[in-house]
Amino acid sequence: MSLPFSNPLTKLYRDDWLLAVHKPAGLLVHRSPIDRHETEFALQYARELNGGEHVYPVHRLDRPTSGLLLFARDPHTASLLGQAMMANSVHKTYQALVRGWPPEGGLIDHALREHALDKRLKDEPQPLREAQTRYTRLATTQLPVGIEGFATSRYSLMALHPLTGRKHQLRRHMQHISHPIIGDTNYGRTRHNHYFAERFGHSRLMLAATELRFTHPITGTPLHLEAPPSEDFQRVVWEIFARAFE
């Protein structure tokens, strides 16, 4: 049965075992105890794209993150993909707009403390887990806008490659190296976020999942899935990096 409203997901790839879609920013992947009042989820929309049949998410995207989201179409394929994820055999690429000019490339090797799943334990120390992210700087720009006491403001477009899968890993790692992602209300810089919200009329997290590379769990063939960033992401990037891309 079709849902009574338009489907916000875009189908990118489908075969007998896999379904890949583009998820817009602001949509939860599945029901969460943190957002008990939400009624729309990527999972239900993906099911509609799968002919009403169940799908199984094999990785997650934070609610404010847009981009490539992969589902398995049966439990066995989901299990195999889950094992590949745990073995770091699925290579992910994200694009992010960050404050400042990070080095041209590098590795962030910084352990992250787990988030308590039970709110009653939120004040108790949680275990540290190893976490690594590789990054490449794609472009830089400097705007004649004074923020936080500086006469100009610097920003960079980044390619981020998480080597582990910790909660909010990319957002926390970019904060750790003092180059937080624009639009990040948890780990970002408020004044920079406000500038982008005022200039572009919205305040989305400037983080997009753009690529997945892995071996197909059933056929054994290499698979490279791509999802260009959404229009609202690209509009911000093209406007502030116009000179860099000329």
User: Is 74 among the residues known to form the active site?
Assistant: no
Query: Residue type for 78, please?
Result: A
Token pair 């989305």 is at which residue?
A: 204
Q: For residue 165, how many other CB atoms are within 10 A of its CB?
A: 15
Q: How far apart are the C-alpha atoms of 242 and 173, rounded to whole Å?
A: 27
Q: Which helix (H) or strand (E) holds 196?
A: helix 190-200
Burial 38-56 (b: 16+ CB within 10 A, else e): eeebbbebbbebbeeeebb
Compute CA 127 distance to the chain's CA centroid, rounded to the nearest angstrom: 24
Q: Which runs of E-coded beta strand occur in the chain? A: 10-14, 18-23, 56-57, 66-72, 91-99, 105-109, 112-113, 128-129, 132-143, 153-162, 207-215, 222-226
Q: Annotated catalytic residue: which of 15, 16, 35, 62? A: 62
Residue 11: its H or E element: strand 10-14
CB 20 within 8 Å of CB 71: yes
Pair type for strands 222-226 and 207-215: antiparallel
Show which residues are catalytic: 62
